[in-house]
Amino acid sequence: MTDSNKTDESAPIDPPTQIVSPPSGGDAPSIDWLDLSSPGLINEYPYDFGRYQILEELGKGGMGVVYKGLQKDLDRLVSIKVILSNRLLVWKNVLRFRSEAKAAASVRHANIVGVYEAGKVLGQHFIAMEYIEGESLAKRNHRCPLNEEEAVRVVARVARAIAHLHLKNIVHLDLKPSNILMDKKDQPFVTDFGLARGLGGRGIGEDTEAIQGTPCYMAPEQARGDETEIGPLCDVYGLGAILYELLTGAPPFKNDDPFETLVKVIEAEPTPLRKVAPNVSKTIEKICLRCLEKKPEKRYSSASDLADDLDCFLAGDVVESTASSLLDQVKCWVRRKPALASHLILMGFFLSIEMIWFHVFKIRTAAYHDPLVLIFVLWGLTSVVCEWFHRKPRLARPTRFVWAASDVLFLTAVVANAGGITGHLLILLPISLVASGLWFRRSIVWMATGISLFSYVVLVLHASFFRPDVEIFLDHHFIVLAVLFSLGFLVSLMVRRIELLLSYGRRSGPLMHQEG
C-alpha cells in the first residue's frame, strides 16, 4: 500500500491480512489526512472509502470508531474500524492500532471476529473485519438479561475462544461484555484486540508506564501494572468478571472514580454472587469467585480448565475443583470487609490478653475487667452496625464520619479505664489519628484530630478533679496536645498529596477508561 491522495486499489486480501510496516526511525510519514473519527464528518451514507462503502456507524470505543460497511469488489458486509485520530496523531497509537490487527489476524476461531484487511486510505488507518449482525453482550444483557444457563454457556464458549488465543501465544487483556459481540443466534464473538500482546513480550507501541484497560474488569496484577505477572491468567480473571456481571447485573467492582475502582480491584474481595443474586447456584458462585482470586496461582490454571468446569456444570456433572478451605474463606471475608475485619481482629486480640490476665494470672480486678469488656463489646457492635450502613451507597459518606468518631471515643473510654493520662494505653490516641487517614478524607482526619484533642483535655480535667494522687504538669500536657495536632496536620497533608496525585492521574491516564 502507498501513501497518496488516491484511494488504495490493491486486490483484497482474504483471509490473510496486509499490514503496513511502520516507517523507519519511528516517525509518522507526511500524509494527506482523512479523519473519519471526527463527529459529524460523514453527513450522509453510503460514503465511499477506498474499496469499501461506509453504510452507518455502529459504535465508538476507547481507541476507534466502528462502521458497518460494504466491500464493493466482493459484495460482502464488513465492519470497518478506524482509529480515533487527528492531524496531531501520536505514532505510537498507530502502532497499537496495527498491533490489534496483527493479533486478531493471527488466529482463526469460530468465536473470534476475523480480520480481512488492515491498511489506510488517505492516511486514515482502518481494519476491515468480519461483520457480525447483532449487538454487544453488554447491550444484549441489558436489553434482556441472560439466565444462569445462558450466561454460563456464553462464557464457556468465550473461554474456549480465549484458550485458543492463548495457544497462539496471545493474551487479550481487555475482556468485557462490550468487547463480545452476539449474533442473532446468541453466539458470542470476541473482538477488540487493542491491548492484546504476545506471551513473554509487549504489545507493539505499548506504553508500559500506563495502566491499560477497563478498571472494573482488570485483574489485580494488571491494575498494579506488574509486568512480570501479566499473562493468560489476567484473561481468566476477565472471564470471571464477565460471568459475575451477567449473573448479578454489575461487574465485581465499580465506582464513579476509576482510581477508587482500581484500589478495590487490588485490595478488596467481590461480594459473593448469591448475596447479590440469590438464585445463582453455589457451584457457579464458586467457579466465578475462583476466577476472581487476587493471586493468579489460585485461579484456574487456564481458560480451557475454566471452560471444562462450565461445560461440566451444564452437563449436570459434579464439579470437584470448586472446593475451598476454611482458611481461604476467612481470607476472602477479611479482604471483602477490611475495615470491619481489622476492628474485630484487634479487639479480639486485646480481649484475649485481658481474659488471660483476669482468668489465668488473676492480676486484674473485676472493677477494671468488667468495664473494659463492656467497652469492647459495645465497640464491636458499633463497628458491625457501621459496616452495614457503609455498604448503603447513600449512607456511606456520613457513616465514615460516624465510624471514625466512634473509634476515637471508644479508644478514649479504653484509655480512661486503663489509668487515663498515666496509663500505658494513652498511645492509642495518636494511633487512632493515623488510622483515620486510611479513609483518605481530610475532613475525617481533622474531625478525628479535634475529637482526640477534646478527649485528652477531658482526661486531664478528670485527673485533676478525681485523681489527687496524679500530679498535673501543664507543660507536659501542652506538648501532648501539640503532638496530637501536628500528627493530625501531617496525616491530612499526606492525604492531600494523595488526592493531588489521583487528580493528576485522572487527567493524564488516557489508556485507562471506565466501561460505558
Both 419 and 349 in a single domain? yes
Residue of 84, 96, 72 lying closest to 19 (CA atoms): 96
Residue 322, pLDDT score: 64
Round to whole Å and give the CA distance between 31 and 316: 59
Q: What is the CATH number of the domain that holds 180?
A: 1.10.510.10
User: Which CA distances in Å does 80 have to 20, 67, 100, 237?
Assistant: 16, 5, 13, 29
| Cβ neighbours, 10 Å, residue 40 | 5
Is residue 484 one of the residues assigned to a domain? yes
pLDDT over 70 (residue 206): no
Orientation of helix 148-167 relative to helix 303-314, angle to 10°: 150
Both 153 and 284 in a single domain? yes
Both 483 and 388 in a single domain? yes
| Cβ neighbours, 10 Å, residue 331 | 15
- pLDDT tens-digit readout, 82-131: 876 554 445 666 777 777 777 777 888 999 998 888 888 877 888 899 99
Q: Where are the beta strands (DSSP E) in 237-332?
A: none
pLDDT over 50 (residue 512): yes
Is residue 7 one of the residues assigned to a domain? no
43-52, 137-146, 147-156: which has the minimum mean pLDDT? 43-52
Residue that terminates a domain, selected from 130, 156, 189: 130
Both 403 and 447 in a single domain? yes
Residue that terminates a domain, selected from 282, 315, 332: 332
Both 320 and 189 in a single domain? yes
Round to whole Å and give the CA distance between 203 and 504: 25
Residue 147, pLDDT score: 94
| Cβ neighbours, 10 Å, residue 403 | 22
Q: What is the CATH number of the domain that holds 33?
A: 3.30.200.20
DSSP per-residue string spanning 37-52: TSTT---SSSEEETTE
Residue 510, pLDDT score: 41
Is residue 516 one of the residues assigned to a domain? no
- pLDDT tens-digit readout, 131-143: 999 999 999 999 9
Both 257 and 184 in a single domain? yes
Residue 10, pLDDT score: 33
- Range 437-451 average pLDDT: 90
Residue 176, pLDDT score: 94
pLDDT over 60 (residue 269): yes
Both 220 and 90 in a single domain? no
Both 347 and 327 in a single domain? no
- Range 195-211 average pLDDT: 57
Both 233 and 312 in a single domain? yes
DSSP per-residue string spanning 325-391: -HHHHHHHHHHHSHHHHHHHHHHHHHHHHHHIIIIIS--S-HHHHHHHHHHHHHHHHHHHHHHHHHT
What's the chain's average pLDDT?
81
158-167, 190-199, 200-209, 488-497: which has the minimum mean pLDDT? 200-209
Identity of the residue numbered 398? P
Residue that terminates a domain, selected from 130, 146, 178: 130
Range of the domain at 179: 134-332
Both 143 and 240 in a single domain? yes
- Range 463-472 average pLDDT: 76
Residue 1, pLDDT score: 38
Is residue 424 one of the residues assigned to a domain? yes
Round to whole Å and give the CA distance between 75 and 414: 81
Is residue 326 one of the residues assigned to a domain? yes
- pLDDT tens-digit readout, 291-308: 999 999 999 999 999 999
- pLDDT tens-digit readout, 377-429: 999 999 999 999 988 878 888 999 999 999 989 988 888 887 777 777 788 78
Both 316 and 373 in a single domain? no
Is residue 311 one of the residues assigned to a domain? yes
Is residue 380 one of the residues assigned to a domain? yes
Question: Residue written as cell 443474586?
Answer: 277
- Range 166-179 average pLDDT: 92
1-10, 364-373, 375-384: which has the minimum mean pLDDT? 1-10
pTM for the full predicted model: 0.68
User: Which CA distances in Å does 90 have to 29, 87, 315?
Assistant: 12, 9, 50
Residue 36, pLDDT score: 59
Both 460 and 362 in a single domain? yes
Q: Is 135 exposed, middle or buried (0-12, 13-18, 19+ CB in 10 A)?
A: middle
Query: Angle at Cα 331 formed by Cα 327 and Cα 335, nearest 5°?
Result: 170
pLDDT band at 13 (very low <50, low <70, confident <90, very high): very low
Is residue 258 one of the residues assigned to a domain? yes
Residue of 183, 182, 181, 161 lying closest to 172 (CA atoms): 161
The catalytic site residues sit at 174
* Number of structural domains found in the chain: 3
